Amino acid sequence: MLTPAPMRFVTLSLLREDLVDAGLVLAEFAGFAPQGNEESKERLPEAVGEEYVRLFHSAHGRLTKIMRHLDLKPVDDDAGEHRALSKQELAELDQWLGEIWVQCSACEETSHGYQEQLAEVQQLDRALEIFQSLDVDLGLLQDERQFLHILPGTLPLQHINRLQEALSIIGYSLSQFSHKGNTAHVIVAGLMENRDKLDPLLRAAAFHSLDLPREFRDHPKKVGQELEQRRQKILTEKLHLQHKIDANREKYAEQLQAAAMRLVAGSSFVQFGGALRGRGNLAQITGWVPESKLDELHQRLEQVLPGHFLLQERKPAADERSQVPSDIPHGRLLRPFASLVKNYGTPRYGELDPTWLFALTFVAMFGMMFGDVGHGMLIILAGFLLKDKVRGIAPFMMLAGLSSTLFGFLYGSIFGYEHVLPALWISPLSDPMLMLKLAFAWGVGFILLATLITIRNNLVDRRFEEALFDNKGVAGMMLYLGMLFAGYRWISDGNFGWLEQTVLLLPLLAILVYKWRHIKAPFGERLLVVVIEGFESLMTYISNTLSFLRVAAFSLNHVALAVAVFTLADMMGTTGHWITVVLGNIFILVLEGGIVIIQVLRLEYFEGFSRFFRGDGREFRPMRLSSKQVFAQSRELR
């Protein structure tokens, strides 16, 4: 499919009491994207289902926390049978989950308390390590005494001797009991009456006092035993708590999984958002549906709500085309390329989907720039081996490798060897000028195709004047063709007469007039902008075309790197020769292969997409029943 699927704006009118059933139908249908509009808000001013949404978020939050606490993972069973969840059932489910959460939250708070207690014991253990070598009651180092002053602390090792001498003068002593690195752990003791003389000496020696925890009231060995007993008691209580949590998990697991599936069904109502309006007992849902799925939607609604609904549909209005979501399904081979396109943007409704053009030109240019049978087959092999681990990238790698292999046969290159395989076409280094001419021709064709797509997209969007006179429209294409014609005549015959001047000036004049009419500014500023944009139109076409010469440059670079590798290899012995060849090929495959991918992406994005692809469309996101989406938060918390 080259363009997004045709869409219809649908309005589903029904009774409020049938909304939950309708929501389940639309979510299982997976082809309805809700979207509100101003017309519905004016006719139906009431917001519907606010209480249901509140109950859903309350129940969802509680279930998420309970499952995280019990280490449960919601079962992914989106294909299973779902039953509509009424507001009354949702209220009862929310109440039940609230009761379960009361139990779980008590256990969780207790568990957090145990963790904090264990952390505290571990911190005390680290603090006790300093005093393990002391054979003294640590309580003596904490209590204030009438006559004796005892102070534990730390200071740099190099200051110990000097401090000892200074302390002896004022009647104090210093004892070192351990050290760590350049820091000594010491005890300073002396008479309380000399304390005022002590402080200046300690400051000068960079002494820092140690505060002993209040739990250290005995010999270090005895304190360590008490801490270990305390730790074992906490671990035992924590184990009992874990048994209780395990019992709750076993008791409630099945019911909680059922509740999760009920909430998945209830999420369909929540997904309506602002697309749901009402007045009195009447409700209305608006949104977008692919034209091809309208009949299926009507049949599904008829099965669940026979005769109880009214489904109206219309084509998108001209002024709302920018709001229409783009539904573009891609096959397995195109999906990795579609992801790269999505990095740039989403096609507008009605625009050509650039994925097919991107895939063809990307694969072709990669092969042109990295043509080698051996390297291409290694890329194919890597894609095949990684197909289960990187499913989205494997087709991309295998197609790029296939292109590289095919061009390798055309170039006669295998692992850099140019004389093992006969070239089916030409070796790049044998005729560089031909390679440059072909790259130039490729760029011309690429730019012309991109310009034609731009013209087509503008016509579809009813931008007729832009399609005709813009520098990316018909006038721009005629200017480009005129530049090519004039350049060819000048290079081949040295002729640049009135014909060449005419084919350049007429489209350029059309572009300048178009720019002049659409710029709102004073005369001088207007003139300056028009001249600059006219000059930019000329230079952009020239620079964009010359950018494609890199296609030839990298095909030549690939061969040149191989020549450099073999030159180094020939300077070594047999073993060194083959080691150099293998490492050189790995270097070429990884480094140059990565650079080629970057260069191809640059050509695609800047010389291609920037010309015709706005990328400001809205992706079609239909309502779905997805346990993965509903419980994404609980998985992140895990």
Q: Which residues partner with 590 through β-bridges?
A: none
Q: Could you give the 3-state DSSP secondary structure of residue 185?
A: strand
How large is the C-alpha radius of gyration of the chain? Answer: 39
The phi and psi torsions of 154 (rounded to 5 degrees) equal: -130, 155
Q: Could you give the 3-state DSSP secondary structure of residue 447?
A: helix
| Among candidate residues 358, 423, 380, 357, the one with its CA nearest the CA of residue 555 | 423
Estimate to the nearest angstrom the gap between the alpha carbon of 240 and the chain centroid.
Answer: 42
Name the E strands within 139-246. 148-156, 172-180, 183-191, 208-209
Using CA atoms, how far apart are residues 483 and 515, in angstroms rounded to an integer? 20
Using CA atoms, how far apart are residues 83 and 21, in angstroms rounded to an integer? 8
| Among candidate residues 60, 62, 72, 505, the one with its CA nearest the CA of residue 250 | 72
Instruction: Look at 3-17, 320-334, 366-380 and tell me which has the smallest mean pLDDT.
Output: 320-334
Q: For residue 278, what are the CA distances in angstroms to 25, 54, 217?
A: 19, 18, 73
Name which residue leads in pLDDT, 137 or 22.
22
Determine which helix (DSSP H) or strand (DSSP E) holds 15, and give its type and residue range: strand 7-15
For the segment 584-614, what is each residue's pLDDT rounded down to a tens digit?
Answer: 999 999 999 999 999 999 999 988 888 778 8
For the segment 548-558, what is each residue's pLDDT rounded down to a tens digit?
Answer: 999 999 999 99
Tokens for 292, please give them: 């091809």
**Residue 61 pLDDT:** 93
CA angle 291, 297, 302 (to 5 degrees): 145
CA angle 294, 297, 301 (to 5 degrees): 140
Q: Could you give the 3-state DSSP secondary structure of residue 88?
A: helix
Average pLDDT over residues 27-51: 88
**How high does pLDDT run on average in the chain?**
89
Using CA atoms, how far apart are residues 229 and 223, in angstroms rounded to an integer? 10
Please say whether the beta carbons of 371 and 388 come within 8 A: no
**Residue 634 pLDDT:** 43
Crossing angle of the two packed helices 394-411 and 335-344, in degrees rounded to 10: 100
Estimate to the nearest angstrom the gap between the alpha carbon of 511 and the chain centroid.
Answer: 40
For the segment 214-250, what is each residue's pLDDT rounded down to a tens digit?
Answer: 888 888 888 888 889 999 999 999 999 999 999 999 9
Q: How far apart are the first and last CA of the chain?
A: 40
| Among candidate residues 75, 116, 234, 199, the one with its CA nearest the CA of residue 634 | 75
Using CA atoms, how far apart are residues 602 and 370, in angstroms rounded to an integer? 16
Tabulate helix, strand, coil % of the chain (nearest 5). Answer: 65, 10, 25
**Residue 141 pLDDT:** 76
Tokens for 234, please give them: 């906490």
| Among candidate residues 52, 511, 539, the one with its CA nearest the CA of residue 276 | 52
| Among candidate residues 95, 106, 192, 94, the one with its CA nearest the CA of residue 143 | 192
Determine which helix (DSSP H) or strand (DSSP E) holds 313, and give its type and residue range: strand 309-314
DSSP 8-class letter at 422? P
Name which residue leads in pLDDT, 489 or 388.
489
The total number of residues written for the chain in this structure: 638
